Amino acid sequence: MAKKTLEDCPPETLADQVVVVRVDYNLPLNRDGEVVDDTRLVRTLPTIQYLVEAGAKAVLLSHLGRPGGRPDPALSLRPVAGKLEEFLGYPVGFCPMTTGPQAQEAVQRMKSGEVLLLENTRFCPEDARNDAEWAEEISFGTKLFVNDAFGTAHRAHASTQGVAHAVRRGGGGAVAGFLLERELRFLSDAMADPEHPFVTIIGGAKISNKIDVIEALLPAVDRLLIGGAMANTFFKAHGWAVGDSLVEEDRIDTARRLMDLAGDKLLLPVDVLTAPSITSDVSTCVSACDEVGEAQHIGDIGPRTAELFIDVVGGARTVIWSGPMGVFELAPFRSGTFEVARAAASTADRGATVIVGGGDSAAAAVAAGVVDRITHVSTGGSASLEFLSGNEMPGVAALSDR
Ligand code: ADP
Ligand code: MG
């Protein structure tokens, strides 16, 4: 990698040092505010353990949710400190302030080998504003900043980019943690020199979220499979009725342009699963894509499409998958996504590189029970799409060069 990583920092240089680490503990919460998936936290453990074993004082910064620059008790990181403590097996300090005298004191009181999590950086408006003075404050005079927050690396915020600049201005270094390094390695290897056939599966709710990544991947891929609600807009572009399904009327031209651009590479669904409503207790019907009835909702790809997609994925040597094939959260509409997930896992079992990017696709891989067989499940939702689209990530660009 062109950027320095934690591997460039031998343990003996870290003993007794304050090291500031940006992690991404923006964990998905349910309606009761409970953490539903702790993958992002678990993946940071190697970085934290490395620092603890080296005898450093690890000060962790993260955001959680979108509190909009104001404290919001529902988005406090305090429960996350408890979770981290369970995984590490030793105490993790928590400071209810992110900056100011209380935070400074908490950092000053730390002993060698201790871990301290500060309160949600986005309780402070300065974070998203990338305020340089505030970035200086959250650097706590450290000589080493570690960015291990891939999911936030596409944001130029004070706790991602600003703090790296502040530490480097002060003569220190800014490096990638083990999680960030792994993400960049897998995603850039897949992009730089993919083994063919190279297949991309794009699904999910909206074309608008994924145009950039489709356009960036198109020249390199052999097949582009499209499912999910996104396919509906392509059906519309063909002039087919989609009933009451989710459609982006203002993206029909985009769909048309992508169809021209992709030519034979593009594989759209040939059949879909429809129902009178997208709810958990409806009975579904299979329709050809050009025969969707009035007042019907498309909720998943159909069985013939699943077979087609499974076949293409089965022959691939590189697969990038972003976006579910249907409303997999609801039992009647989960089978298309699960079948594609299982096909991707089988392909990975045979030695292909399979990368899953996107928060909901990662959740679908977990729900389908195949997550452990996938080569790399990215922890960055939109961050992985930004990276795959070829956009610069300010949080990475700000790190020290090798
Ligand atoms: P990811 O997070 O993997 O990038 P997206 O956020 O783009 O995926 O899209 C995921 C969402 O798309 C899911 O909540 C899923 O229910 C929804 N979705 C997929 N297919 C359909 C469909 N046919 N109709 C409505 N919503 C859909
Ligand atoms: Mg999503």
pLDDT per position as a tens digit, 187-215: 998 888 899 999 999 999 989 889 989 99
The minimum-distance atom of ligand 1 relative to the CA of 231 is 23
pLDDT at 226 over 90: yes
Give residue 33's pLDDT: 80
Mutate to test the pocket of ligand 1, among 246, 322, 360, 379 (most ligand atoms within 8 A of CB): 360
DSSP 86-130: HHHTS--EEES-SSSHHHHHHHHT--TT-EEEEP-GGGSHHHHHT
Atom 24 in ligand 1: residue holding the nearest Cα = 229
230 Cα: distance to centroid of ligand 1 (angstroms):
8
381 Cα: distance to centroid of ligand 2 (angstroms):
7
Tell me whether strands 285-288 and 271-275 are parallel, antiparallel or unpaired.
antiparallel
Task: Kindly identify the ligand whose nearest atom is closest to the C-alpha of 336.
Answer: 1
Give residue 134's pLDDT: 98
DSSP 158: I
Give residue 32's pLDDT: 83
Q: How far is Cα 282 from Cα 383, in angstroms, rounded to an integer?
A: 35
Q: For the chain, give the percent of residues with pLDDT over 70.
A: 100
360 Cα: distance to centroid of ligand 2 (angstroms):
5
- Amino acid symbol at 199: V
Residue 124: what are its φ and ψ, rounded to 5°?
A: -110, 125
Q: How far is Cα 357 from Cα 353, in angstroms, rounded to an integer?
A: 13
Q: Read off the pLDDT band of 239 (50, 70, 90).
A: very high
Closest of 323, 310, 321, 228 to residue 272, by C-alpha: 228
The minimum-distance atom of ligand 1 relative to the CA of 324 is 19
Q: Read off the pLDDT band of 389 (50, 70, 90).
A: confident
Task: Kindly identify the ligand whose nearest atom is closest to the C-alpha of 213.
Answer: 1
The segment(s) of the chain belonging to CATH 3.40.50.1260 are 6-182, 194-388
The minimum-distance atom of ligand 1 relative to the CA of 359 is 2
Give residue 263's pLDDT: 96
HEC letters along 307-334: HHHHHHHHCCCEEEEECCCCCCCCHHHC
The minimum-distance atom of ligand 1 relative to the CA of 272 is 23
Most confident of 30-39, 110-119, 359-368: 110-119
The minimum-distance atom of ligand 1 relative to the CA of 209 is 7
- CATH for the stretch 194-388: 3.40.50.1260
Give residue 209's pLDDT: 87
Pairwise pLDDT comparison (161 vs 28), residue with the higher score: 161
47 Cα: distance to centroid of ligand 2 (angstroms):
26
Give residue 248's pLDDT: 95
Give residue 190's pLDDT: 84
Q: Is the pTM of this model over 0.85?
A: yes
28 Cα: distance to centroid of ligand 2 (angstroms):
11
63 Cα: distance to centroid of ligand 1 (angstroms):
24
CB 305 within 8 A of CB 274: no
266 forms bridges with which residues in the sheet?
224
Q: Read off the pLDDT band of 75 (50, 70, 90).
A: very high
The whole-angstrom distance between residue 367's C-alpha and the CA centroid of its chain comes to: 17
Element (H, E) at 188: helix 178-192
Q: How far is Cα 383 from Cα 148, in angstroms, rounded to an integer?
A: 13
Atom 16 in ligand 1: residue holding the nearest Cα = 327
Mutate to test the pocket of ligand 1, among 305, 327, 335 (most ligand atoms within 8 A of CB): 327
Mean pLDDT of the 232-240 span: 96
311-359 pLDDT tens trace: 999 999 999 999 999 999 999 999 999 999 999 999 999 999 999 998 8
Give residue 347's pLDDT: 98
Give residue 385's pLDDT: 86
Task: Kindly identify the ligand whose nearest atom is closest to the C-alpha of 385.
Answer: 1
Q: For residue 280, count other CB atoms closer than 10 A to its CB.
A: 11
- Residue 159, sorted as left (phi over 0), alpha (psi -120 to 50) or beta, turns out to be alpha
282-293 pLDDT tens trace: 999 999 999 999
Q: How far is Cα 22 from Cα 98, in angstroms, rounded to an integer?
A: 12
Ligand 1 site residues (CB inside 6 A) read 204-205, 209, 228-229, 246, 298-299, 322-324, 326-327, 329, 358-361, 381
Element (H, E) at 344: helix 335-349
CB 107 within 8 A of CB 97: no
Task: Kindly identify the ligand whose nearest atom is closest to the C-alpha of 325.
Answer: 1
Closest of 299, 136, 332, 319 to residue 227, by C-alpha: 299
Which class in CATH covers the domain with range 6-182?
alpha beta
Task: Kindly identify the ligand whose nearest atom is closest to the C-alpha of 359.
Answer: 1
Q: Read off the pLDDT band of 31 (50, 70, 90).
A: confident
344 Cα: distance to centroid of ligand 1 (angstroms):
18
First to last CA, the chain: 8
Give residue 154's pLDDT: 96
Atom 9 in ligand 1: residue holding the nearest Cα = 204
CB 83 within 8 A of CB 44: no
Tell me the CB-side half-sphere exposure of residue 189, using CA atoms within 13 A. Answer: 15
Q: Read off the pLDDT band of 30 (50, 70, 90).
A: confident
CB 386 within 8 A of CB 154: yes
216 Cα: distance to centroid of ligand 2 (angstroms):
19
Q: How far is Cα 29 from Cα 211, in angstroms, rounded to an integer?
A: 28
- Amino acid symbol at 271: D
Give residue 319's pLDDT: 97
301-310 pLDDT tens trace: 999 999 999 9
232 Cα: distance to centroid of ligand 2 (angstroms):
17
Mean pLDDT of the 227-238 span: 96
